[in-house]
Structure 1
């Protein structure tokens, strides 16, 4: 994210913009200037995921115990020097940035294909140069940080805007991230996460004033520069010809400056010597080739304006066609407040929130201290500152509509057949959300619209979203639109379906629960899903209709599930949760399993019912690794050495982790019948440990060997296996063993083994002296 080419330009051509600083020293200086105020660093967590994920193994599904220990050390080091951390996560993708999101997802698809090609050729994990973050990393990082006692917030819009707003309004020590948009926002100082050395707490600070001095600009010009260069709002190609003209007239190109750097200098020179000179005499649209892109361009500039800030580059009339970010309340504000304006500071903050003011203002502004000169320069004096789906054709729209397969009927049904529904989902206006100044936004954006009308329930969902206590629930209820990024899936392995399809029936039942709220789910509008899977060009969302939950007496209301604390409500929540996974018939057995394995058994049962290519060996590996995980330290897991890396096991690991995120979604929607800790991967899954158990199971290791000769774990193993197998059998799913013998073994031998009882299979697995001997074919019939 950020401004195209600005990071490289600053590093190569503007070295004075980058200054090495020490967080401990900055914190001491901050405390001396603001007695009684805790130095606070606001962290753009999405920028830090790659920095935090340092475990050597990443391709197997995630080394979650190791990762949790890294986060714990990170928090401890800052806490030890008296610095408070506030973490922000992206809560949704804004419509203006959907195209950028899609381009990155398609690019990631190509990267993932190369990863699987490498694994198949070399039978090992690729180097770090091909690193791809494990599935669900951002989601589980939220909950990890909350577990560590950190203030963790989820944005109601693009996170970088809320990070910059929070930093400005709460007089923060600085922003920690890796996004050049933070050089454009007029907020507190911006520090680099990639340059952070935890041992010394040294990092690089980027100073906006020095950037402006290098470019001959003022702070008010930076948003304009960002839009002319191209960012996540304004496409890079929009001003390509304009930049070329600027370059052709620019005669002061620096030596050793690459083409991109020269373009930045040329555009900045044009702003300073042409646009600013004629500003007032001519309108900006007369000086720039805006054409039909005028509204988008002004939106781009406005996207950098924090609460209380204005821009001299946006004429008064343009305000009526500009949707400012102020239409959505900042997550730092009171979720109970009915006034949906981010201009109000955090009511919990005891400090006065400084705001950037106009250049003529005499008010104090945040400052950027140059460690070399020891002098303070104004931070801002002018408030400027970021498997294909089958298709059907709608006879009226003449457009192809993606199809959704009903998992219960096994027939294809249209995701959306209503001719009125096209690509936009009908929504209801939430009266709880107040209107903004009509001069500051487009007419269609003057009201916050939602998929539900119950303002009390929506307020609860919003508060849980902001506090990072739920997953996707508020997005579904507020906008009817959700997305899921790339997963390590082998597009050439047709035996394993994409996680997007495997878990779709679960999501459909959740849609019914959240949108129908105890009524007939068939009347609910479809939800727009932006899910990455093979063959999906992401040109439009899949329109997925809710699926009615089957429960005796009907589905309870969200007020009962979320707000009722009477005895018996918890049992009702669990009943609905199991119904979302279509496992009501196995409720008694599943609920008899102790935590956290109850959630695991629920997920495994659902997986094995949905995916008939999963084998008994796969089940053994999943259960064995979960049972062995608590007894292993992060160091022991890091020291595990794999014989080789199997591409199928890689995909299975990601499939299970995505399943854990679905558990989070369902648990949140049902009022949290399970403790969140029971759903966390560091308590249930380790990628490398699973891979080891998978390879052993495929070689025919006995169950005793899989649980490392631990008799207590062996008993537990058979209990969990029995629960899953019985629940699957109720759904007419018999889990068969994968054939490990050579082709010379006859089909008769395998068919005889298929008839073995569980006890016979266990006896066949019993020998401890030859753990590598393959066991016979078997089916799970218990």
Structure 2
């Protein structure tokens, strides 16, 4: 997981991901190691252990704050934030597993804490090193720890953190390191809980070491705690020495923390064994054969969601790029909730002997605006709307009869409520079939989705097959639209749920067809969104490629047909998209260049300095507002003001200036187009 950020070096991360370019980067990265004779084994986090749930929640809230700032920046400047303000594309970890497997790599998904499984594997197989970015790897008595953050891929050089040298410096043995890590604070034992012990240790250390240097407080704490550990822990057979004056609760927690660092062959002499997840009540709703198959698929990184549902009845989803001030677009967790419920129904609501037919609801830890994450949401499974009865999961997964194949597809389509598309399977390409199903599902769930939004989704999927990563890099965007950012994220999240639906249905479709590099690119989608809302002709929207027209028209007519059948009339609602001008530029008309231009003229307004000052005040108030002061996600019935309507321009204090190389450095402010203005007439 520590490699994801250096891997994803695509310029555009905010629009949903540049997936074709990402695949090229992964290929080059893998080839650099294999050409040097190094075999790679990849591990991905497969679970969030409950003892680390508070840490997970704390991190999710922190990222939510970053996402708020990202959207504020996009609205104010019409561009992607630079520097450290970066959130990786949604689903990157999920799809990277499949990408690496497609490159012939060995990939595992953990069934417990991934750090533990990595350290165990490296110790058992005598690996040359663990490439990652987590100090836990120096605490485990395992292979050498190498920094992924400091890796130079061209020369294959990095930094080695020497466990033995660390112990020598601190005057400790290797078996002391787990207790040291827990007393200093980690994901299991918080810093606050061990603060009294550290305070006492520092007091004793200070009496013997009177010399102190500026900025050395953290170093003194580490040395003091090391001295304390050395004095009270003399045997590797005792997890927590009785001399530690702790309450029973703190002692138990500290023992858990220390034991989390002891690998499987190191715990044999202890009375308390480390085990995988306990047997959960949900496991009685599936056969042992299904449970074993789910686990095998999960570990081999070939499944998604199903193992956590049938084994624990719990799933989680991390942050997505969602604008909590956009009242038109629901969070992805709510958009795909019906889909997930039907998927849970496929897995748990079927005939099985001697069990209650109504399993408990699934616990969902999903991050979205308005969810405080104080407790999981309880989501009950719902049955599929199918003409035939549920055949049972064993038959659906392992049946070899010819009719089972069509039954699997029917089950998959029923999860998406897209049974009407069954006749199209095999007629259009599989990845376009997936696009058709997903766009139709989104359209039915999101009532504010317009005809132009659908055109943007479909056109970019059709055009993507004809574009290389280099072609996509050459796309010039006059500005970024915050609404298109959220729509792009919504699509990619949908692909991940389709992975789960496909797995639950017995895999009627290939995993490759569900991969985003076959049907989505964020930069291309932004381009098509701007063009579609400029109401360009279909041929222009398709980059003047007449060979794409027939497929595009087929997909569009099928979406409209099914939506009308279900009472959803798709309306045209073009939005006035206007780019953000930098100071000193004159307004101009953006022409239709390759289907990527804009068709609206830009006009300055005369709100003057009062309006500009109010815009800046609101932007900074929004950016600095604490997450704890935010309310729940507003009702979708509220009217959403169009960000790009009735804009005015903020004339900056400084003009652009060329640097020594002749490039423009933007010393001035961008013109602001406030979202709190009134929407245009439909």
Query: TM bucket by the smaller chain?
Result: 0.7 to 0.9
SS in 2 for 1:543: strand
Say which of 332, 336, 347 aligns to 1:503: 336
Aligned position for 1:136: 91
Aligned position for 2:323: 490
Question: Distance in 2 between the 1:513 and 1:770 partners?
Answer: 42
Is it true that 1:63 corresponds to 2:11 in the alignment?
no
Say which of 576, 581, 586 aligns to 2:416: 581
- Judging changes above 3 Å, is the alpha-carbon distance between structure 1 residues 241 and 683 closer, same or farther for their aligned structure 2 residues? same
**Which deviates more from structure 2 when the two are superposed, residues 275-284 or residues 46-55?**
275-284
Is it true that 1:249 corresponds to 2:204 in the alignment?
yes
Is it true that 1:737 corresponds to 2:592 in the alignment?
no
Question: Distance in 1 between the 2:595 and 2:99 partners?
Answer: 41
User: Gapped runs of 5+ residues in structure 2?
Assistant: 578-591, 601-682
Question: Distance in 1 between the 2:238 and 2:134 partners?
Answer: 35
CA contact (8 A) 1:452 1:458 kept: no
Aligned position for 2:586: none
Aligned position for 2:453: 618
Is it true that 1:653 corresponds to 2:653 in the alignment?
no
Q: Deviations over 1:70-113 (max 9, x none)?
A: 11111111010111101001111111111111111111111111
Question: Distance in 1 between the 2:74 and 2:194 partners?
Answer: 41
Residue 178 of structure 1, CA deviation: 0.3
Where do residues 114-125 of structure 1 align in structure 2 (5 Å cutoff)?
A: 114-125=69-80
Say which of 674, 685, 688 aligns to 2:509: 674
Question: Distance in 2 between the 1:156 and 1:769 partners?
Answer: 47
Where do residues 146-295 of structure 1 align in structure 2 (5 Å cutoff)?
A: 146-251=101-206, 252=209, 255=213, 257-272=215-230, 274-276=231-233, 284-295=241-252
- Judging changes above 3 Å, is the alpha-carbon distance between structure 1 residues 282 and 701 closer, same or farther for their aligned structure 2 residues? closer
Question: Distance in 1 between the 2:597 and 2:159 partners?
Answer: 54
Residue 278 of structure 1, CA deviation: 10
Residue 521 of structure 1, CA deviation: 9.6
Where do residues 589-628 of structure 1 align in structure 2 (5 Å cutoff)?
A: 589=424, 592-628=427-463
Question: Distance in 2 between the 1:242 and 1:583 partners?
Answer: 60
Aligned position for 1:404: none
Residue 292 of structure 1, CA deviation: 1.9
Say which of 274, 282, 289 aligns to 1:325: 274
CA contact (8 A) 1:451 1:515 kept: no
Question: Distance in 2 between the 1:663 and 1:522 partners?
Answer: 25
Where do residues 368-517 of structure 1 align in structure 2 (5 Å cutoff)?
A: 427-428=280-281, 450-517=283-350
Residue 248 of structure 1, CA deviation: 2.4
Question: Distance in 1 between the 2:238 and 2:404 partners?
Answer: 68
Residue 638 of structure 1, CA deviation: 2.1
Question: Distance in 2 between the 1:537 and 1:55 partners?
Answer: 32
CA contact (8 A) 2:528 2:596 kept: no
CA contact (8 A) 1:451 1:476 kept: no
Aligned position for 1:420: none
Residue 773 of structure 1, CA deviation: 5.1
Question: Distance in 1 between the 2:386 and 2:597 partners?
Answer: 45
Aligned position for 2:521: 686
Question: Distance in 2 between the 1:769 and 1:261 partners?
Answer: 59
Q: Deviations over 1:597-621 (max 9, x none)?
A: 0011000111000001001111111
- Judging changes above 3 Å, is the alpha-carbon distance between structure 1 residues 263 and 451 closer, same or farther for their aligned structure 2 residues? farther
Question: Distance in 2 between the 1:506 and 1:616 partners?
Answer: 23
Question: Distance in 2 between the 1:280 and 1:76 partners?
Answer: 44
CA contact (8 A) 1:518 1:554 kept: no
CA contact (8 A) 2:286 2:348 kept: no
Say which of 274, 294, 303 aligns to 2:260: 303
User: Gapped runs of 5+ residues in structure 1?
Assistant: 1-45, 330-425, 429-448, 743-765, 775-782
Question: Distance in 2 between the 1:710 and 1:700 partners?
Answer: 17
Question: Distance in 2 between the 1:524 and 1:326 partners?
Answer: 25
Q: Under a length normalisation based on structure 1, what TM-score does the superposition of the two structures give?
A: 0.71
CA contact (8 A) 1:175 1:191 kept: yes
CA contact (8 A) 2:477 2:596 kept: no
Question: Distance in 1 between the 2:517 and 2:344 partners?
Answer: 28
CA contact (8 A) 1:183 1:190 kept: yes
Where do residues 740-759 of structure 1 align in structure 2 (5 Å cutoff)?
A: 740=575
- Judging changes above 3 Å, is the alpha-carbon distance between structure 1 residues 283 and 100 closer, same or farther for their aligned structure 2 residues? closer
- Judging changes above 3 Å, is the alpha-carbon distance between structure 1 residues 591 and 544 closer, same or farther for their aligned structure 2 residues? farther
Q: Under a length normalisation based on structure 2, what TM-score does the superposition of the two structures give?
A: 0.81
Question: Distance in 1 between the 2:20 and 2:334 partners?
Answer: 28
Aligned position for 1:703: 538
Question: Distance in 2 between the 1:675 and 1:169 partners?
Answer: 34
Question: Distance in 2 between the 1:767 and 1:281 partners?
Answer: 72
Residue 514 of structure 1, CA deviation: 0.5
**Which deviates more from structure 2 when the two are superposed, residues 170-179 or residues 563-572?**
563-572
- Judging changes above 3 Å, is the alpha-carbon distance between structure 1 residues 286 and 635 closer, same or farther for their aligned structure 2 residues? same
Aligned position for 1:353: none
Question: Distance in 2 between the 1:714 and 1:707 partners?
Answer: 7
CA contact (8 A) 1:185 1:305 kept: yes
Question: Distance in 2 between the 1:570 and 1:676 partners?
Answer: 16
Q: Which has the higher strand share?
A: 1
Question: Distance in 2 between the 1:298 and 1:326 partners?
Answer: 15
Where do residues 719-738 of structure 1 align in structure 2 (5 Å cutoff)?
A: 719-738=554-573
Q: Deviations over 1:675-699 (max 9, x none)?
A: 1110100010000110011111122
Is it true that 1:91 corresponds to 2:27 in the alignment?
no
CA contact (8 A) 2:45 2:109 kept: yes
- Judging changes above 3 Å, is the alpha-carbon distance between structure 1 residues 586 and 633 closer, same or farther for their aligned structure 2 residues? closer
Aligned position for 1:332: none
Question: Distance in 2 between the 1:654 and 1:522 partners?
Answer: 36
Length, aligned pairs only: 581
Residue 51 of structure 1, CA deviation: 1.3
